[in-house]
Structure 1
Amino acid sequence: MVDLNHSGLTEYSFERLDERAAMEWMQTHWSKSFVFSTVYAALVFGGQHYMKPRPRMKLRRPLILWSLSLAVFSIIGAIRTGSYMLQVLSVGGFRRSVCDQSFYNGPVTKFWAYAFVLSKAPELGDTAFVVLRKQKLLFLHWYHHITVLLYSWYSYKDMVAGGGWFMTMNYGVHALMYSYYAARAAGLPVPRPLAVLITSAQIGQMATGLTVSGLVYRWMQHGDCPSRLHNIFWAALMYLSYLLLFSNFFYQTYLRRRGDAKTTKVE
């Protein structure tokens, strides 16, 4: 295990988490993620039915505050976990960054790892804005929310290898994504290439997650990359499905429509 207690990373008072209590709570209550997911699905599709004969809600200010709060949370999380991961990479190398479990109980990331998994429950609230504003609800949207919640709570309790990469990447992508949403909700001019960049980052995140899952499986055979076979299976399946869905979204949104527009113009 990499010792980063003297790495120069300052642990702030709010980051002083009792990781044992946090781990025990998750080991006892992780299955409640299924309850949250079931209630979420019922509210989403029930809400769509409720809103069908009713006018869409604007919700501009609540959406700005919601997106901005998640953007700030994700930016700070990305900085804190990213700094820690860089330290692991510089001290122990790439393999250690994948296999080391110190991310779950390190002086900085123990708080941000727990905050990450807990945040997947309130993040379900994203969909309320889609439903109440009567926007198109993509399968990718609600499938992603449910599966991330289930897998995050399921994996945290076992401190599986690869978690540092999974969580840090997610913080980074969400920092960009929610900042973009906040700017759009506030009516600020946002260049289209930024949206392309965010989707590209999401695709890169899924490809990296799939690669890390494969490396965990490979290195687990040598006994220094703690995980479980069924966890690796679900992680790989999840990231593969995300990779396919986000790639299809990229094609349908940025490539196919552009091609259709060109064809229409010619005709």
Structure 2
Amino acid sequence: MSVVHFSIDRPFGIYLFKYFDALYTAVLGTPATKFAFVDGVTPLSTLTEVVVSCLTYYGVIFGGRYIMRNSEPLKCKLAFQIHNILITIVSGALLALIVEQVLPKMIRHGFHYTVCNSKAFTTEVEILYYINYLIKYWELLDTVFLVIKKKKLEFLHYFHHSMTMALCYSQLTAKTPVSCVPICLNLCVHVVMYYYYYLTTTGVKIWWKKHLTTMQISQFIIDLLVIGGLAYSHFAYVFFRGILPTSGTCTGTETAAIFGSGLLTAYLLLFVNFYRTTYNAKEKALKEQQAAAERLKTKMLL
């Protein structure tokens, strides 16, 4: 029986990765510490697989919507509940495992080392980021549920789901330690978001949906601030060392940095537009209704 002892290396009192490694070994027959993301060897490790997966995803959701055009929507309440509560739990567990790996490095060596030094991209971190990448395939079922329930398919939804697979793949191949920032923020959001999806099926009145969207927008702003700052530092170090202030270079590839920054910017703009068209429009309509009611009340009193 493990003794609970809180320390820098055990922020949760026990070493969670030890239990993860035991489960991983029991299932796959090899320790998690032996894992390596190898192009063409590890499942879903090639660009071709990512592209084919995205195209298959689009074919399934749009083909499914066409097939069901004359059918009644399926409720599938229990399956939807299980799907969402499981992703909530798995996202929370993965977040804790990543924090356990990242936090000690940050305390001992600082933020820049943790997100930029190649030594921070350990085997333990790599397997956890790979699992996060695999979860993005699981999350595609969100759209399948929308299709069979005959809900509206928003561009924001299927673009975000498909391209996030590509984003995770690009950062894995580039071995970017800074992935810890968007991954941890995204997992925090997903713990709340999938729990929200679960609650929508229970009949609970939810008042904080708007704040969930605000949380999603905030994560992209923080992501871009961090990545933008590191990109500046990297290019200043490489091209203008001694001229511009810099905290040093950052490991990874410039292609991965540009792709990640561009995609996160697109996400931010899409979510801001969604917020504007959804909540601002509702608030405007509510104010107009209230004003109309006041005018009618005044007219009746005259």
Residue aligning to 2:85: 68
**Corresponding position of 1:3:** none
1:38 pairs with 2:44: no
Distance 1:40 1:159 in 2: 26
Identity %: 23
* Contact 1:81–1:168 (8 Å) recurs in 2: yes
Q: Is the 8 Å Cα contact of residues 103 and 110 (structure 1) preserved in structure 2?
A: no
Within 5 Å, which residues of 2 pair with 1:1-267? Answer: 7-8=9-10, 10=15, 11-15=17-21, 16-18=31-33, 20-24=35-39, 25-26=41-42, 29-31=45-47, 32-102=49-119, 104-105=121-122, 107=124, 109-187=125-203, 189-193=204-208, 195-221=209-235, 222=237, 224-267=249-292
Distance change >3 Å, CA 228–CA 110, structure 1 → 2: closer
SS of residue matched to 1:192: coil
Separation in structure 1 between the aligned mates of residue 289 and residue 117 of structure 2, nearest angstrom: 54
| 1:47 and 1:131 in contact (8 A); partners too | yes
Amino acid at match of 1:144: H
Q: Structure 2 length normalisation: TM-score?
A: 0.79
CA offset at residue 103 of structure 1?
Answer: 5.4
Q: Could you say if the C-alpha distance between residues 197 and 165 of structure 1 is closer, same or farther in structure 2, counting changes exceeding 3 Å?
A: same
In 1, the alpha carbon distance for the partners of 2:33 and 2:84 equals: 29
Q: Can you list the C-alpha shifts for 1:224-262, whole angstroms capped at 9, x where unaligned? A: 311222211111110111111111111222222111122
Q: Residue 20 and residue 72 in structure 1: after superposition, are their counterparts in 2 closer, same or farther (change >3 A)?
A: closer
Higher relative contact order (Cα pairs below 8 Å, separated by 6+ residues): 1
CA root-mean-square deviation: 2.3
Answer whether contact 1:19 1:105 (CA < 8 A) is retained: no
Letter in 1 for 2:18: Y
Q: What secondary structure does 1:157 align onto?
A: helix
Between 10-19 and 161-170, the greater mean CA deviation after superposition: 10-19
Larger displacement relative to structure 2 (53-62 or 16-25): 16-25
Deviation at 1:71, TM superposition (A): 0.5
1:177-224 residue CA offsets vs partner (Å, 9 max, x unmatched): 11111121233x24312x122111110111112122212312323363
Matched length = 260
CA distances 1:137-194 after superposition (whole Å, capped 9, x unpaired) = 110000001110012112202202411112111111111111111121233x24312x
Shift of 1:111: 3.2
Q: For 1:12 and 1:22, how far apart are their aligned partners in 2?
A: 20
Amino acid at match of 1:7: D
Q: Structure 1 pair 254/76, CA: closer, same or farther in 2 (3 Å)?
A: same
| Bigger shift: residues 38-47 or 208-217 | 208-217
Cα distance change on mapping 1:81 and 1:263 into 2, 3 Å:
same
Change (3 A) 1:137 1:158: same
Q: Which runs of 5+ in 1 are unaligned?
A: 1-5
For the residues of structure 2 that align with 1:30 and 1:131, how far apart are their CA atoms?
A: 28
The answer to whether the 8 A contact 1:99-1:224 is kept is: yes
| Cα pair distance change 1:232/1:53, threshold 3 Å | same
The structure-2 alpha-carbon separation of the partners of 1:28 and 1:264, relative to structure 1 and needing over 3 Å to count, comes to: closer
